[in-house]
Amino acid sequence: MTRAKALLRDYPIIPLLILLALLVGTLEIMRPGIVGERWIANTVKFAIPLAMLAACQTLTMLTGGIDLSAAIVATISSFVMATLVPFYGATGAILLSLLPAVAIGLLNGIGVGLFRVHPLIITLGTGLIGTGCLQVYQSTVIATGSEVPEALAWLGTGRTWGFPNALVLFVPFAALILYAQRRTGFGRLLFAMGDNEGAARLAGVRGWQVHLALYALSGLIAGIAGLLYVGLIKAPSLSLAVPLMLPSVAAAVIGGTSIFGGRGGYAGTIVGALILTVLGTMLTLLQMPEGVRRILFGGIILGVAAIHLRLTDTR
Amino acid sequence: MKALRKHAWITGLAVILALLFVATKLIQPSFGASGIESLARAALPFAFATVAQAVVVIAGGIDLSIASIMAVCSVTAAVLMEGASGPAALGVVFLVLAMGGAMGALNGFLITITRVPDIVVTLAMLFVYEGVALLILNAPGGRAADWLRGLIIGGLPIPGLTGIPRALIFLLILVALVWLPIRRSRTGLSLYAVGSDALAAFRSGVNVGSTRIVAYGIAGLFAAMGGLTLTLSTGIGEPIPGPYLLASVAAVVLGGVVLGGGKGGLLGPLIAVFILRLVRMDLTLLSVDPNVSAIIEGTIMVVVVMIGGLLAAKGKL
C-alpha cells in the first residue's frame, strides 16, 4: 500500500490517466461505437484550446498566482484578429492581434510584480478593462465585417491522416512548456517562487522580473489560444472564449497543480483538459437538463480535486 | 498605528463618497431624495454580496459561489411567493435565509473535510449552485410579495425623514443585526484569528474547521439576503447569476479588507459599494457610453488596489 502510494506521489499523472480511461470506457458503454478515430480527433480538437488556456493557469499557479484575464485576452485577440484581416491580411492581423494580449499580460505582471497586488484581483480588474475596451472597439468596427483566415480554420478544424491539425501547433507548444518548466532556469524560478517567495528573494531572485515575464507570457499564450479557438468555432464574438475561463482553472486544478504554488506541472493539466472535454461530451449525451449537467460538472471537479489531493498528499 | 491606518482608510473612503455626492449634485442639480433612493435600491444586492464576501475574506478564504447562492435564493423566493404572497411570504423569507446559510455552511464544510483550497471548492460549488438555480426556474419568472417589496422601495414613512431611503436602513439594520453580535463574541475573534494565521489560531485552541464553516455560513446568509432583495426589487426571480462576484471582490478590496484575511471590517466595504455604484451612476448621468464606464470602473479598481498594494508593502518594510 505504501509502495503504491509512493508511486502515485511520484507520478501523480497515473490516477488521472486511469480516470480518463474510465471515463472513455463509460462513454463507450453508454453509447457503443461512439469511441472511434473521428470521436477521438474531435475530443482532442476541443481539448487543445482549453489545455492552452489552462497553461496560463498552470504557469501562474506554480508561483501561487492565477490569471483570470486569460479567457478575455483570448477573446480579445481572436476578435481583433478577425476584424483586422480585411485591412492587413492574415499574417499582419494575427501579429497585431497578439499586441493587446501581451499588453494586458504586461499590465498584470506590473500589478503583481511591482505593486504587489494579489494576482486574483489584478487579473479580474484587467479582465474588466479588457472587456470594456473590446466592446468599445466593436462599436467602432461594426461596419467593416470580420473574417477568419483560411490558415486558422485549417489549423482549428482540419484533419490530416486522422490527426487534428491543431496538433501541429499544440505538440511543439506542450513540449516547450514541459521542457521549460523543469529544465530551464525560468521554469525552476517559477517553482522556487511558488514554494517560498521570501527564500527565493533572499537567494537573489528578482521576483518582479519573473512576474513580469510570466504574466506577459501568459497573455501571449492566451492570445494564441484565442486565435486557435476562433479557427475552431469560426464565429468571432465578444464572448468567444469566456465560457472556457472556469474550466481552464478546473483543468489545472484537476491536473494536480497546487493553487498555492510550488507543486504541479503541465503534463497533468493536459490530461485534466482531456478529462473535462470527455466529461462535457458525456454530460451532453446524458440529455439531462442544463441544471443537472452543471451540478454534475461542479461535483466532479470537487471530487477529483479532493481524491487527487488525498492520493498525492505528502502530509 | 495599525488602528489609525485602518480608520484612515475608512475616513478616506467616506471623503471620496462625499466628494462623489457633491460631484453628482453638480452634474445633475435636480439630484435629490429620489436619486439617493434609486441608488440605495440598486446598490442593495451588491452591498449584501460584498458583506458576504468580506466575512469570508476576513476569515482567510474567498467565496466564488456568492453570486450563484444569490441566484438560488432569488429564484426560490420568487417561485414560492408566487403561491404565497400574503403573510405566508414571511415563512418563505425565513426558509430562503436558512437555505442560504446552509449552502454557505456546506461550502465551509467541504473545504474543511476535503482540505481542497477555498478557491477550488467554491469554484466547483459555483457550478453546482448555478445548476440548482436553473433546476428551480429555468427562465426568469415568479413574483415577489408586494408588502415585502414595500420594505425596500421608497423613503422612510416618518415625517421629516422621508429623504432617507428605506433600502439603506433595511441594509444597515440587517447587517448590524447579524454582524455586531458575532463581531463582539468569541466567534468573531476566532474569525479574525483564523484569517490572520490559521496555524497560530489552531495552537491557541481555536477550532479552525468550525470557524470556517461559521464564516461561510454567515456569508451564505448575507448572500440569501442579497438574493431576496434582488427578487424584491425586480419583482421576479433570475436564475442566471448577476455580476456580483467580481463586484463583491472589488468592493471588499477597495473597502480595506486584506485578501488573505485577518484585517478589515464591514463598514469599509459597505462604503466602497456605494462609491462604486455612485461612480457608475455619475457616468450614466454624464451619458458616457456604458462600455466606456466599464473601462473606467475597471481602471479605478486596478489603480486603487495598486495603491493599496504599495501602501501595504511600505507598511511591511
A249-286 per-position pLDDT tens digit: 888 888 878 777 777 888 888 998 998 888 888 888 87
CB contact (8 A) between residue A125 and residue B302: yes
A142 and chain B: CB distance < 8 Å anywhere? no
DSSP 8-state code for residue B141: B
Closest alpha carbon to A75 in A46, A56, A93, A100: A100
The pLDDT of residue A314 is above 60: no
Cβ count near B185 (within 10 Å):
11
Instruction: Report residue A65: phi and psi, to 5°.
Output: -105, -165
A10 found inside a domain: no
Among A135, A294, A309, beta carbon nearest to B127: A294
Sign of the CA dihedral with A77 first, then A82, A85, and A91 last: positive
B31 found inside a domain: no
B78 found inside a domain: yes
A23 found inside a domain: yes
CB contact (8 A) between residue B250 and residue A124: yes
A125 and chain B: CB distance < 8 Å anywhere? yes
CB contact (8 A) between residue A301 and residue B310: no
Distance from CA of B311 to the nearest CA of A (A): 9
The confidence score (pLDDT) of residue B182 equals 86
Q: Which residues contact B61 (CB under 8 A, 6 or more apart)?
A: B111, B118, B122, B212, B215, B216, B261
B212 band by pLDDT with thresholds 50, 70 and 90? very high
How many structural domains does chain B have?
A: 1
Interface of A with B in 152-211 (CB under 8 A): none
Element (H, E) at A159: strand A159-160
- In three-state secondary structure terms, B280 is helix
Q: What is the mean pLDDT of chain B?
A: 83
Contacts of B253 in chain A (CB under 8 A): 118, 121
Distance from CA of B276 to the nearest CA of A (A): 14
Contacts of B115 in chain A (CB under 8 A): 306, 309, 313
Question: CA–CA separation, B234 vs B215, rounded Å?
Answer: 29
A132-167 per-position pLDDT tens digit: 888 888 887 766 667 777 777 777 777 777 677 777
B51 band by pLDDT with thresholds 50, 70 and 90? very high
Choice between A103 and B295, residue whose per-residue pLDDT is larger: A103
A67 found inside a domain: yes
**Helix, strand, coil distribution of chain A in percent, nearest 5:** 80, 0, 20
Residue A76 half-sphere exposure, CB side, CA atoms within 13 Å? 32
Closest alpha carbon to A214 in A43, A64, A49: A64
CATH classification of the domain holding A239: 1.10.3470
Asked if residues B97 and B224 have their Cβ atoms less than 8 Å apart, the reply is yes
How many structural domains does chain A have?
A: 1
The confidence score (pLDDT) of residue B317 equals 40
The pLDDT of residue B316 is above 50: no
A128 and chain B: CB distance < 8 Å anywhere? yes
The pLDDT of residue B237 is above 60: yes
Q: Which residues contact B186 (CB under 8 A, 6 or more apart)?
A: none
The confidence score (pLDDT) of residue B52 equals 93
Sign of the CA dihedral with B207 first, then B209, B210, and B215 last: positive
B121 found inside a domain: yes
CATH classification of the domain holding B82: 1.10.3470
The pLDDT of residue A93 is above 60: yes
Question: CA–CA separation, B161 vs B155, rounded Å?
Answer: 8
B75-124 per-position pLDDT tens digit: 998 888 877 667 777 888 899 999 999 999 999 999 999 888 888 888 88
Chain centroid to CA B317: how far? 32
A297 found inside a domain: yes
Question: CA–CA separation, A38 vs A43, rounded Å?
Answer: 9
Asked if residues B144 and B232 have their Cβ atoms less than 8 Å apart, the reply is yes
Question: CA–CA separation, B224 vs B208, rounded Å?
Answer: 24
Q: What is the mean pLDDT of chain A?
A: 82
B248-272 per-position pLDDT tens digit: 888 888 888 877 777 888 888 999 9
Grid cell of A190 as nine digits? 517559477
Element (H, E) at B244: helix B244-254
Cβ count near A27 (within 10 Å):
19
A131 and chain B: CB distance < 8 Å anywhere? yes
The confidence score (pLDDT) of residue A315 equals 47
* Segments forming the whole domain that contains residue B272: 2-9+39-316
Asked if residues B37 and B281 have their Cβ atoms less than 8 Å apart, the reply is no
User: What's the pTM value of the predicted model, to 2 decimals?
Assistant: 0.81
Chain centroid to CA B313: how far? 27
Residue A21 half-sphere exposure, CB side, CA atoms within 13 Å? 6
Grid cell of A46 as nine digits? 476541443
Q: Which single residue is written with the C-alpha cell 457550478?
A: B127
The confidence score (pLDDT) of residue B231 equals 87
A237-258 per-position pLDDT tens digit: 887 888 788 788 888 888 878 7
Task: Please give the single-letter amino acid code of residue A195.
Answer: D
Q: Which single residue is written with the C-alpha cell 414571511?
A: B90
Question: CA–CA separation, B223 vs B49, rounded Å?
Answer: 6
A4 found inside a domain: no
Longest Cα pair distance anywhere in chain B, in angstroms?
A: 61
Instruction: Report residue B236: phi and psi, to 5°.
Output: -135, 170
CB contact (8 A) between residue A295 and residue B132: yes
**Helix, strand, coil distribution of chain B in percent, nearest 5:** 75, 0, 20
B25 found inside a domain: no
Q: Which of A110, A117, A307, A311 to mutate to test the interface with B (most CBs of B within 10 A)?
A: A117
The pLDDT of residue A30 is above 50: yes
B18 found inside a domain: no
B33 found inside a domain: no
* Segments forming the whole domain that contains residue A297: 16-28+35-312
- In three-state secondary structure terms, A279 is helix
* Overall average pLDDT of the A284-301 stretch: 81
Question: CA–CA separation, B161 vs B6, rounded Å?
Answer: 31
The confidence score (pLDDT) of residue B154 equals 67
Among B123, B135, B298, beta carbon nearest to A250: B123
Contacts of A294 in chain B (CB under 8 A): 127-128, 130-131, 134
